[in-house]
Amino acid sequence: MHEYAVTKGLIAIAVEEARKAGASKITLIRLVIGDLSTVIDESVQMYFDMLSEGTVAHGSKLEFRRVSARFHCKDCGIEFEKPKIGFDCPKCGKMGMLTDSGKEFYIESMEIE
């Protein structure tokens, strides 16, 4: 359900940026979402369709780009994507430490008219 609040904030930011640019319509919003953010694309889309009514964002296409969670191994120093199971380094087998990659949620760009 946190997608409701996240989407409401997303629309507010997009509408404000469009206003600053003098746009009358937003046609496309590109979003970056980390796999660990727990944000579900379909829920964002559903809330966006409802909450954007009456704004310059209504009818905009949302484009989602997913970012994988990445880990760093303190023992051998490599960085790797999270394996399907567990958090172990594929090189040495030790447990990896989470990096900042995979927690993202932001507007990457917008197309306006």
Q: In 3-state terms, what secondary structure has residue 35?
A: helix
The C-alpha atoms of residue 113 and residue 102 are separated, in whole angstroms, by: 32
One-letter amino acid of 72:
H
> Annotation-wise, does 5 bind a ligand?
no
> Annotation-wise, does 19 bind a ligand?
no
Of all helices (H) and strands (E), which one includes residue 67? strand 61-67
> Annotation-wise, does 89 bind a ligand?
yes
Nearest-5° Cα angle at 32, 20 to 62:
65
> Annotation-wise, does 48 bind a ligand?
no
> Annotation-wise, does 92 bind a ligand?
yes
Binding-site residue ranges: 2, 73, 76, 89, 92
Binding-site residue ranges for Ni(2+): 2
Binding-site residue ranges for Zn(2+): 73, 76, 89, 92
